[in-house]
Structure 1
Amino acid sequence: MNSKIFLSPPHMSGKELDYIKEVFESNYIAPVGEFIERFEQSICDFTKAKYTCAVVNGTSAIHLALRILGIKNGDKVLASTFTFIGSITPILFQNAEPVFIDSDESWNIDPGLVEEAAKKEKPKALIVTHLYGQMAKIEDLLFLSRKYGFYLIEDAAEALGATYKKKHAGTFGDFGIYSFNGNKIITTSSGGMLVSSNGEWIRQARFLSTQAKENYPWYEHETFGYNYRMSNVLAAIGVAQMEVLEERVKRKREIFDIYKRELGDIADFMPEIENSRGNRWLTTLIFKDKNPLKVSETLKKHNIESRPLWKPMHTQPVFRNAKAYINGASEALFKKGLCLPSGTALKDEQIIEICRIIRKG
């Protein structure tokens, strides 16, 4: 293979430049304009979220959620350990304390350990990651949030288009967030979205995301905010991308099925919980016998990008002193697992060739 095959590259719909041209013609290229409202509405229409706020990335969306929920110095926030650090750093922004929770057989957060931690730690919130586009056991987590009185924030950064009982990831909890980073199922190059059924909270998010400016002719500030609002240019890209989201989910799932058919005898693949549909953002597997790092090196020699599964947060040096409720699941997944190229522009024959290289290597 000559040209590089990336893990999850952007895949444009063809409409992006047309919409960007409209933005430039309007001269609304700042964090204000028609396409921001259109992008927010498109997320509402697709996911049935009631209210949305477009921001610069998924991490800022989580930060706004924590700020609005009153998470502060000394509060404890439970969080998936098997995730990307962007899910966790907003806890630190609020001077709160992360408490990490391990995975279960679904690879997502273990509700049993969540309950154990909730009894002991008295958390103010839980941030659950819907890992690699697969739904966590959201009904169990909702039950626990009500039983123990903590807020539930869904990190659906990787899971736009995933559903549980036909209800979309990100719309179950107090807040949900999506990411539109360059490697996500749809992209605005960078960007995020905060969603909630609470309109007042989203009004606060818009206020805080635009530097908390009061309604005066001059700049008046009774509190501090952030420069977190998405630009009209990026929102225009998002509008075009949303028009093909369902096609992208379909293709991601087809890619997963080909990998599973070709490699199912030498690896186990991330499962879907019952009654759910994942978006299969990345095809992820754990090898039965092969060393994933050696497989990755072999693929690299053929100009093919792959990546280890997330290194658990509780094993990261920056969190060496953090509390964690651990059963060993995420560490075992990290040691044996690999993310395979999952770009929606991949051809079937390219996927089959990747599988051939994996088997041979």
Structure 2
Amino acid sequence: MKIELDAPNIGNLEKRYVEKCLDSSFVSTYGPFVPEFERKFAEYLGVQNAVSTQSGTAAIHMSIYELGIGPGDEVIVPVLTFVATVNPVMYVGATPVFVDVDPKTWNIDPKEVKKAITPKTKAIIPVHLYGNPSDMDALMDISNRYGIPIIEDATESLGAKFKGKYTGTFGKFGCFSFNGNKIITTGGGGMIVTDDEKAAKHIRFLINQARDTGKGYYHPEIGFNYRMTNLEASLGLAQFHRLDEFLEKKRKFREIYEEVLSDLKGLQFQKEYEGAESSWWLTSILLEDNIPISVEKLREELKRRGIPTRRIFIPIVEFPPYRKFAKGEYKNAYRIYKRGLNLPSSTVNSYESIRMVAEQIVRITRNA
């Protein structure tokens, strides 16, 4: 059996929706599929507005841009994340301020966020890493106390909840991704959600090249070509019908991994905060000192058995454009990176194949 790390799950329903879009000829940015996808997305999350974009990165960029953030401003971000969280900060000329993460949940540490706040701080971007919700109680307390807006990077966490509320719905803006490896996919694409109708309307205007359609091809502001296509939205609509199925499977995968790997001393899982319900986009583990095998050796042995894995994200300050922003040691982030591993979590896998993967990890580790 073939094991997949994070491959998309595409079936006949998706083919029917895409064919319907092709038959309609509404394959570009104008047509009925995009607004329908946005409506269903907003309804699911219980928010007032959802604006589709070209990517999750574009969603984050537009959220930062809409807040008027620019040169001289600072944005607090976790040092352990995908680089797409941080690049948009640079797009607007602002300064990323990196903070360490919690050693158990791997998410931005609210205590470190407090320490990093200055008069220049204009936004905080928590990341719900691998689908695991951040401590939104603590972060919203900080946001409210200091008057600093939160942009949630929920690109990996569609369907996850913190104390009964969906990730992406706490802050000023919530940003989602529909890349091919995400929980649902549009092939490429993203979404911004917000209860601020004025901001949503302006973002919708900006992503269409800031075109005033009432005046033809008239552009009163600098705009962006960040729109989602109807072809992408049609795929997203089909995937959205299967979201509950995908979430159930990913959470069951996590349960199987925990059950089989529970006896391995020194192997730890990414933990949830109390009241959190992760989507477990990627189930991830951490190897402690007393595990008799390195992460790279375990990866190599699993690869020989046809089992793909992925290293945890490299701390952003390791990349040349971001080294100058490093302040401190970021001990937790580096430890998680050096000892962490993403396990096969694609919903095309069967429960039996995930159990087999876990059993192989046990066998390899005990024979090391």
Q: In the TM superposition, what whole-angstrom CA distance separates every residue of 1:62-91 from its partner, at most 9, and x where no partner exists?
A: 000011100011210001111000000000
Within-5 A mapping of 1:6-21: 6-21=4-19
Q: C-alpha displacement at 1:121, in angstroms?
A: 5.7
Task: Give yes or no for the alignment of 1:314 onto 2:289.
Answer: no
Distance 1:133 1:197 in 2: 22
Structure 2 match to 1:344: 347
Most deviating of 323-332 and 89-98: 323-332
Q: In the TM superposition, what whole-angstrom CA distance separates every residue of 1:91-127 from its partner, at most 9, and x where no partner exists?
A: 0100100001111132100000000001x46310011
Distance 1:49 1:326 in 2: 38
Q: Structure 2 length normalisation: TM-score?
A: 0.94
Most deviating of 157-166 and 342-351: 342-351
Structure 1 match to 2:269: 269
Structure 1 match to 2:208: 210
**CA-based RMSD:** 1.4
Q: C-alpha displacement at 1:216, in angstroms?
A: 4.2
State whether residues 79 and 330 of structure 2, in contact with CA within 8 Å, keep that contact through their aligned partners in structure 1.
no
Distance 2:236 2:119 in 1: 39
Distance 1:238 1:113 in 2: 37
State whether residues 49 and 196 of structure 1, in contact with CA within 8 Å, keep that contact through their aligned partners in structure 2.
yes
Q: In the TM superposition, what whole-angstrom CA distance separates every residue of 1:13-37 from its partner, at most 9, and x where no partner exists?
A: 5311211122122211111211111
Q: In the TM superposition, what whole-angstrom CA distance separates every residue of 1:239-274 from its partner, at most 9, and x where no partner exists?
A: 111111111111100001111111123211011111
Q: Sort the Cα spacing of 1:235 and 1:87 in 2 relative to 1 into closer, same or farther, 3 A.
A: same
Aligned residue for 1:65, secondary structure, equals helix
Task: Give yes or no for the alignment of 1:198 onto 2:192.
Answer: no
Within-5 A mapping of 1:94-109: 94-104=92-102, 105-109=104-108
Q: In the TM superposition, what whole-angstrom CA distance separates every residue of 1:171-192 from its partner, at most 9, and x where no partner exists?
A: 0000001101011111111110
State whether residues 23 and 236 of structure 1, in contact with CA within 8 Å, keep that contact through their aligned partners in structure 2.
yes
Structure 2 match to 1:246: 244
Distance 2:26 2:327 in 1: 46
Q: In the TM superposition, what whole-angstrom CA distance separates every residue of 1:207-250 from its partner, at most 9, and x where no partner exists?
A: 11110012345311121111100000000010111111111111
State whether residues 107 and 127 of structure 2, in contact with CA within 8 Å, keep that contact through their aligned partners in structure 1.
yes
Which residue identity does 1:156 align to in structure 2? A
Most deviating of 95-104 and 264-273: 264-273
Structure 1 match to 2:284: 284
Aligned residue for 2:202, secondary structure, equals helix
State whether residues 308 and 337 of structure 1, in contact with CA within 8 Å, keep that contact through their aligned partners in structure 2.
yes
Which residue identity does 1:285 align to in structure 2? I
Q: In the TM superposition, what whole-angstrom CA distance separates every residue of 1:105-158 from its partner, at most 9, and x where no partner exists?
A: 32100000000001x463100111000101000111111012122110000000
Within-5 A mapping of 1:112-123: 112-118=111-117, 120=118, 122-123=120-121
Gaps in structure 1 of 5+ consecutive residues? none
State whether residues 130 and 281 of structure 2, in contact with CA within 8 Å, keep that contact through their aligned partners in structure 1.
yes
State whether residues 71 and 124 of structure 1, in contact with CA within 8 Å, keep that contact through their aligned partners in structure 2.
yes
Which residue identity does 1:40 align to in structure 2? E
Distance 1:350 1:323 in 2: 41
Distance 2:162 2:362 in 1: 34
Number of paired residues?
A: 358
Most deviating of 144-153 and 88-97: 144-153
Structure 1 match to 2:233: 235
Structure 2 match to 1:110: 109
Distance 1:204 1:168 in 2: 24
Match of 2:143 among 128, 132, 145: 145
State whether residues 80 and 103 of structure 1, in contact with CA within 8 Å, keep that contact through their aligned partners in structure 2.
yes
Aligned residue for 2:43, secondary structure, equals helix
Q: Structure 1 length normalisation: TM-score?
A: 0.96
Which residue identity does 1:113 align to in structure 2? E
Distance 2:92 2:220 in 1: 19
Which residue identity does 1:305 align to in structure 2? P
Which residue identity does 1:340 align to in structure 2? L
Structure 2 match to 1:224: 222
Q: C-alpha displacement at 1:348, in angstroms?
A: 2.2
Match of 1:360 among 350, 356, 363: 363
Structure 2 match to 1:333: 336
Most deviating of 343-352 and 71-80: 343-352
Most deviating of 207-216 and 317-326: 317-326
Distance 1:78 1:251 in 2: 33
Gaps in structure 2 of 5+ consecutive residues? none
Which residue identity does 1:194 align to in structure 2? I
Most deviating of 258-267 and 94-103: 258-267
Structure 2 match to 1:301: 304
Most deviating of 153-162 and 266-275: 266-275
State whether residues 113 and 325 of structure 1, in contact with CA within 8 Å, keep that contact through their aligned partners in structure 2.
no
Aligned residue for 2:181, secondary structure, equals coil
Structure 1 match to 2:78: 80
Which residue identity does 1:329 align to in structure 2? N
